[in-house]
A and B are shown apart, each in its own frame.
Chain A
Amino acid sequence: QVQLQESGPGLVKPSETLSLTCTVSGDSIGRSGHYWGWIRQSPGTGLEWIGSIYYSGSTYYNPSLKSRVTISLDTSKNQFSLNLSSVTAADTAVYYCARRNNFDYWGQGTLVTVSS
C-alpha cells in the first residue's frame, strides 16, 4: 500500500521560506519512471499544481511559481521536499504531495498559514 505523508511548519512568516517534506512508504522515490509532485489548494478554491520531480532529479515547475519554487529528492530517506521562498498571505493553502503525474496516490495534506 503506497502512502504519502506531508510534514513541516504550519505557520510561516511573510517573506520567509516555506519548507515541506513528503515521506513515501510502499514505493521507492528512486523507482524508474516515477514522478513525484506537489499540489496546493487555497481556502475555498480549486487545485493548483506547484511542481513535480522525476526519479532522476529533473524538475518541472508551474510558471506562475517557478522563480520561488525548489523541489528535491532524498532517496536515502525516501522523501521529497518543497521549498517556496518569499511567501505572502496568498501562499496560505493546504499543500499536498502526490505520486506520478496522474496523481494516483495523495498525502492527506497539510495546512500552511502565512502570517506574522
Chain B
Amino acid sequence: EIVMTQSPATLSVSPGERATLSCRASQSISTNFVWYQQRPGQAPRPLIFGASTRATGIPARFSGSGSGTEFTLTISSMQSEDFAVYYCQQFSKWPITFGQGTRLEI
C-alpha cells in the first residue's frame, strides 16, 4: 500500500499570508494525485488534479506542484474561506489512499 504523509498536521496562518502544504508518497505515483479541501460538514472538494491542474471554479490563488513522491499545495494569499482541512490522495495503485490531512487555522 502506498502511504501518503502530509505535513504539517496543523498550520497556523493569518489572512493574506501564504500557506504551503506538503504531501509525500511512499513510492512514486507520477502525477496520479489530487488535492482536496474539506470544510466542516461538507464533502471534500477537489482543488488540484494531476498535481498541478486546478479543478473547475478553483481560484488562481491555489496552485500545486510536484511529481513522483513529493507534492506541494500553495495558497498564495489566505482568505477566510480557505481555513479548512486539506487532503492529498493517490490513485496510481490499488488501494487508493489518502493523507491524514492538514488543518489550516487562523
**A54 to chain B: closest CB distance in Å?**
12
Contacts A103-B34, A104-B55; is A47 near B44 (CB within 8 Å)?
A: yes
**A101 to chain B: closest CB distance in Å?**
4
Which residues of A are found within 8 Å of B50, using beta-carbon distances? 102
Contacts A47-B87, A101-B96; is A63 near B43 (CB within 8 Å)?
A: no
Contact of B87 among A46, A52, A63 (CB under 8 A): A46
Q: Once bound together, how far apart are the Cα atoms of A37 and B97, in whole Å? A: 13
Which residues of B are found within 8 Å of A106, using beta-carbon distances? 43-45
Nearest neighbor of B43 in chain A, beta-carbon distance: A106
**A116 to chain B: closest CB distance in Å?**
27
Which residues of B are found within 8 Å of A47, using beta-carbon distances? 36, 44, 87, 89, 98, 101
Which residues of B are found within 8 Å of A48, using beta-carbon distances? 98
Q: How many residues of A contact B (CB 8 A)?
A: 19
B contact residues, range: 20 to 34
Nearest neighbor of B100 in chain A, beta-carbon distance: A46
**B6 to chain A: closest CB distance in Å?**
9
Interface pair B49/A62, CB less than 8 Å apart? no
**A-contacting residues, B1-20, CB 8 Å:** 1
The 0/1 profile, CB within 8 Å of A marked 1, for residues 44-83 of chain B is: 1110011000010000000000000000000000000000
Nearest neighbor of B87 in chain A, beta-carbon distance: A47
Determine if A60 is an interface residue (Cβ-Cβ < 8 Å): yes
Determine if A56 is an interface residue (Cβ-Cβ < 8 Å): no
Interface pair B95/A49, CB less than 8 Å apart? yes
**B34 to chain A: closest CB distance in Å?**
5
Contact of B95 among A63, A107, A108 (CB under 8 A): A63
The 0/1 profile, CB within 8 Å of A marked 1, for residues 31-48 of chain B is: 010101000001111100
Interface, chain B (partner A; CB < 8 A)? 1, 32, 34, 36, 42-46, 49-50, 55, 87, 89, 91, 94-101
Interface, chain A (partner B; CB < 8 A)? 37, 46-49, 52, 60-63, 96, 101-104, 106-109
